[in-house]
Structure 1
Amino acid sequence: MPTALITGASRGLGAAIARALAPTHDLLLGGRPSAELDDLAMELEGSSTWSVELTDHDEVEAATEAITSLDVLVHNAGVGGISPVEETPAEEYRRIMEVNFIAAAELTRLLLPALREVDGHIVFVNSGAGRTARPGWSAYAASKFALRAFSESLREEEPDLRVTSVFPGRIDTDMQRELVDIEGGEYDATRFLAPQTVAAAVAQAIATPRDAHPTEIVLRPTGRR
Structure 2
Amino acid sequence: MNDSTALPRVLVTGANRGIGREIALALAPDHHLLLGGRDEAALTALAAGLPSAETFVADLADPAATAAAVGALDLPGGLDGLVHSAGVLVSGRVEDLSTADWTRSLTVNVTAVAELTRLLLPALREARGTVVTINSGSGYTAKGGGGAYAASKFALRALTDALRDEERAHGVRVSSVHPGRVATDMQRQLRDFEKGEYRESDYVDPATVAATVRLALDLPAEASIDELSVRPR
TM-score norm. by structure 2 comes to 0.93
Equivalent residue for 1:55?
61
Aligned partners of 2:94, 2:181: CA distance in 1, in Å?
21
Which of these residues, 77, 80, 94, is aligned with residue 85 of structure 1?
94
Which of these residues, 10, 20, 25, is aligned with residue 19 of structure 1?
25
Instruction: Give the letter for the 2:206 counterpart.
Output: P
SS in structure 2 opposite 1:22? helix
| 1:34 to partner: Cα distance | 4.1
Aligned partners of 2:8, 2:166: CA distance in 1, in Å?
24
Which of these residues, 170, 173, 177, is aligned with residue 181 of structure 2?
170
Equivalent residue for 2:123?
114
Unpaired runs of 5+ residues, structure 1, are: none
Equivalent residue for 1:127?
136
Contact 1:151 1:163 in 2 (8 A): yes
Contact 1:72 1:115 in 2 (8 A): yes
| 1:39 to partner: Cα distance | 1.8
Aligned partners of 1:23, 1:131: CA distance in 2, in Å?
33
Equivalent residue for 1:152?
161
Equivalent residue for 1:100?
109
Sort the Cα spacing of 1:123 and 1:44 in 2 relative to 1 into closer, same or farther, 3 A: same
Contact 2:40 2:55 in 1 (8 A): no
Aligned partners of 1:66, 1:31: CA distance in 2, in Å?
15
Moved more, 63-72 or 118-127: 63-72
Instruction: Give the RMSD, CA atoms, in angstroms.
Output: 1.0
Moved more, 67-76 or 97-106: 67-76
TM-score norm. by structure 1 comes to 0.96
| 1:33 to partner: Cα distance | 2.3
SS in structure 2 opposite 1:60? helix
Equivalent residue for 1:44?
50
Structure 1 residue runs of 4 or more that deviate by more than 2 Å after TM superposition: 33-36
Unpaired runs of 5+ residues, structure 2, are: 1-6
Aligned partners of 1:152, 1:181: CA distance in 2, in Å?
32
Which of these residues, 196, 210, 228, is aligned with residue 185 of structure 1?
196
Which of these residues, 198, 208, 213, is aligned with residue 224 of structure 2?
213
Number of matched residues? 222
Equivalent residue for 2:8?
2
Contact 1:20 1:200 in 2 (8 A): yes
| 1:23 to partner: Cα distance | 1.5
| Pairing 1:33–2:39 present | yes
Contact 2:114 2:159 in 1 (8 A): yes
Instruction: Give the letter for the 1:122 counterpart.
Output: V
Contact 1:81 1:179 in 2 (8 A): no
Moved more, 82-91 or 9-18: 82-91
Contact 1:193 1:220 in 2 (8 A): yes
- Percent identity, please: 51
Instruction: Give the letter for the 1:29 counterpart.
Output: L
Aligned partners of 1:143, 1:33: CA distance in 2, in Å?
24
